[in-house]
Amino acid sequence: MDFDTLYKKAYAKAKPFPLSATADAGGVGAAILTDRGNIYTGTCLDIATNIGFCAERAAAAAMVTAGEKVIKACIAVTDEGGIIPPCGVCREFLNELADENAHALVKIDKDRVVELSQLLPDDWRKKL
């Protein structure tokens, strides 16, 4: 998987801007590649009351809105260009959208790509 295109699309969404006195957006951008070859992007929303959401979930929401659910690859990029792994909530969220997503490739830093399942080693759904 070549992450160059995903990186560029995610970084393009990582442009901070204020929304209000208590909220801003854009500190992180994310890009998701689906099994159909489409790329969806999103940006984070940081809200003072802690009800904002991450860029990965914003990109996933765009994907689901378009009628897709299977992720092939994902990346999150800060406004300074750094690659970061998804938080725990995003890991779980992406994993639950489709069983196949456990095998999605996630770039977690400059030199490392792992399957989403490696970020959730004890998937609770396997106990059902």
* pLDDT at residue number 79: 97
Q: 124: pLDDT confidence band, cut at 50, 70 and 90?
A: confident
Structure tokens, 76: 């999150």
B/e letters for 41-54, b = 16+ CB within 10 Å, e = fewer, are bbbbbbeeeeebbb
Computed over every residue of the chain, the mean pLDDT equals 95
Alpha-carbon distance of 91 to 70, in angstroms, equals 14
Tens-place pLDDT, residues 19-66:
999 999 999 999 999 999 999 999 999 999 988 899 999 999 999 999
What is the domain class of 4-13+23-127 according to CATH?
alpha beta
